[in-house]
Amino acid sequence: EDQVTQSPEALRLQEGESSSLNCSYTVSGLRGLFWYRQDPGKGPEFLFTLYSAGEEKEKERLKATLTKKESFLHITAPKPEDSATYLCAVAASGSARQLTFGSGTQLTVLP
């Protein structure tokens, strides 16, 4: 069974204080690992897809990396508008089509 574990559950940062969110996964053949951002009352917003170990993607203050067992979302010099819940999900090979999501990391950036 595919499993995704995110840590920490919650993270409070001061504006400008860089940090990393972790996503550990167990999957029978990774087709893709996805990062999403979810604001309260909204649907998950797609950020990145990573397909193979060693791959990195960047967008503004966010950088996602992937190894064979985990992914990191690095947040550099965060701003209060980066506050949200960050979700990690995996798509596995085989007949499954759905994403398996982690429970998310709730990030709060204080001004």
Partner 1 sequence: DSGVTQTPKHLITATGQRVTLRCSPRSGDLSVYWYQQSLDQGLQFLIQYYNGEERAKGNILERFSAQQFPDLHSELNLSSLELGDSALYFCASSVAGNNQPQHFGDGTRLSIL
- Under the criterion CB under 8 A, does residue 45 sit at the interface with partner 1? yes
Instruction: Provide the minimum distance between the beta carbon of 95 and partner 1 in the complex, in angstroms, as a whole number.
Output: 7
User: Strands, E, within 67-110: which ranges?
Assistant: 70-75, 84-92, 100-101, 105-110
- Under the criterion CB under 8 A, does residue 41 sit at the interface with partner 1? yes
* Residues 50-79 close enough to bind partner 1 by CB under 8 A: 51
Residue type for 50, please? L
The two beta strands, 56-59 and 70-75, are: unpaired
- Under the criterion CB under 8 A, does residue 102 sit at the interface with partner 1? yes
Instruction: Provide the minimum distance between the beta carbon of 93 and partner 1 in the complex, in angstroms, as a whole number.
Output: 8
Distance CA 52, CA 55 (A): 6
Residue 29 or 80 having the CB closest to partner 1: 29
| Structural contact between residues 55 and 68, judged by C-beta atoms closer than 8 angstroms | no
DSSP secondary-structure letter at 99? P
| Structural contact between residues 32 and 50, judged by C-beta atoms closer than 8 angstroms | yes
- In the list 87, 105, 107, 109, the residue contacting partner 1 (rule: CB under 8 A) is 87
Instruction: Provide the minimum distance between the beta carbon of 49 and partner 1 in the complex, in angstroms, as a whole number.
Output: 5
Q: Which residues bind partner 1 (CB under 8 A)?
A: 31-32, 34, 36, 41-46, 49, 51, 87, 89, 91, 95-104
